Amino acid sequence: MIALRFEVPASTREIAERCCDNWGESLSLIERAGGASWAVEVLFAAAPDEAAIGDRLTPLGLIDWRLEPVAERDWVRESQRLLPEFSAGRFFIYGSHFDGALPASVWALKIDAGIAFGTGRHQTTLGCLLEIERLRRRGRFGFVLDMGAGTGILGLAAARTGAGRVLAVDNDPVAVQVTRENARINGVASRLRAAGGEGYRRRPLARTRRRFDLVLANILSRPLQRMAPDLKRVLRPGGRAILSGLLRRQEAEVIAAHRAQGMVLEARRALGEWSVLQFKRKTGGR
């Protein structure tokens, strides 16, 4: 393996991420100096062409990048070491390598790191889990939608709290399969259905007549804004939505898009530079 490594200021982190998207075998970004800069690493199976690297990184301007060989590792063992079990409120998330005793009175979720997004450790997913726990104190969830499910962790979390039915939707067939397997592993397959779909207007949502009591969407700022009218359409009056995948500086745009649909911001949670928003659909009016 060959690693391409460089560092960028925080102001160009998103540009660096776009430059390196769908490139090499894997991409990692690590915060440095209290958020002032980010270290970027792209792994390649074979050394990339240096001229191609220069072209790819042109939007970043003049940066000091380097190629370095990576020592062979047992990547499965390494990923397990870096992803130890952890708690998010009453949720206890662990992998198949965990050989300890599960704590008492927790909602346990067995989720392994893999090719689908979502192990609960990123601030966006962690914030959603904490909001699910907070809302659950008001009562059990009825019909729940996990939009952009990834590993299905948010839908699984809702099911683990006793939700009646959960529909998990993702546009990636691999994510759908991973969610189904995770539902089986966690013993909630009878209450969680995973299906392929693109947004709220395609199957299987086009065939779902019953509106949702809770919608979970950990996506990105722009899709959240674009899909606000469709979210209102599938959410029952009085129902709630937990939205994440947005930076704190993107809050205003996402909030405005949903308020334009007559939805009320009930809570917000900030974790680092990320934000989790909880909305309620009004019971009357539009």
**The CATH number of 2-69 is which of 3.30.70.120, 1.20.200.10, 3.40.50.620, 3.20.20.140?**
3.30.70.120
Task: Please answer whether residues 184 and 157 qualify as being in contact, where contact means their C-beta atoms are separated by less than 8 angstroms.
Answer: no
For residues 263-274, average pLDDT:
91
For the beta carbon of residue 241, count every other beta carbon within 10 angstroms.
Answer: 25
Give percent of the chain with pLDDT exceeding 70.
Answer: 87
Give the pLDDT of residue 202. 65
- Say what the pLDDT of residue 210 is: 76
Averaged pLDDT of the chain: 87
* Alpha helices (H) in the chain, listed in sequence order: 13-20, 50-56, 75-82, 123-136, 153-160, 173-185, 221-226, 228-234, 251-259
Mean pLDDT of 126-131: 92
- pLDDT by residue (tens digit) across 130-159? 999 999 999 999 999 999 998 899 999 999
Q: Residue 38 above 60 pLDDT?
A: yes
pLDDT at residue 116, rounded to an integer: 46
Lowest-confidence region among 93-107, 110-124, 178-192: 110-124
Neighbour tally for 188: CB within 10 Å: 21
- C-beta contacts of 40-45 below 8 A and 24+ residues apart: 40/5, 40/6, 40/7, 40/8, 40/16, 41/3, 41/4, 41/5, 42/3, 42/4, 43/1, 43/2, 43/3, 43/4, 43/70, 44/1, 44/2, 44/3, 44/4, 45/1, 45/2
The contacts of residue 171 (CB under 8 Å, 6+ apart) are 148, 196, 197, 198, 199
Tens of pLDDT, residue by residue over 60-106, are 998 999 999 976 655 445 555 545 778 888 999 998 878 888 889 99
High-pLDDT (> 90) share of the chain, %: 58
- Strand, helix or coil for residue 231: helix
The CA distance from 190 to 186, in Å, is 11
Residue with more model confidence, 199 or 229:
229
Segments making up each domain of the chain, as ranges: 2-69, 119-281
pLDDT at 120: 56
Q: What is the pTM of this model?
A: 0.70
Per-residue pLDDT, 115: 46
Between 205 and 147, the more confident residue is 147
State the DSSP string of 63-110: ---EEEE-----HHHHHHHHS--EEETTEEEE-TT--SPPPTT-EEEE
Higher pLDDT: 18 or 228? It is 228
Whether the CB-CB separation of 239 and 281 falls below 8 Å is answered with yes
Task: Give the pLDDT of residue 204.
Answer: 61
Question: What fold characterizes domain 119-281?
Answer: Rossmann fold (3.40.50)
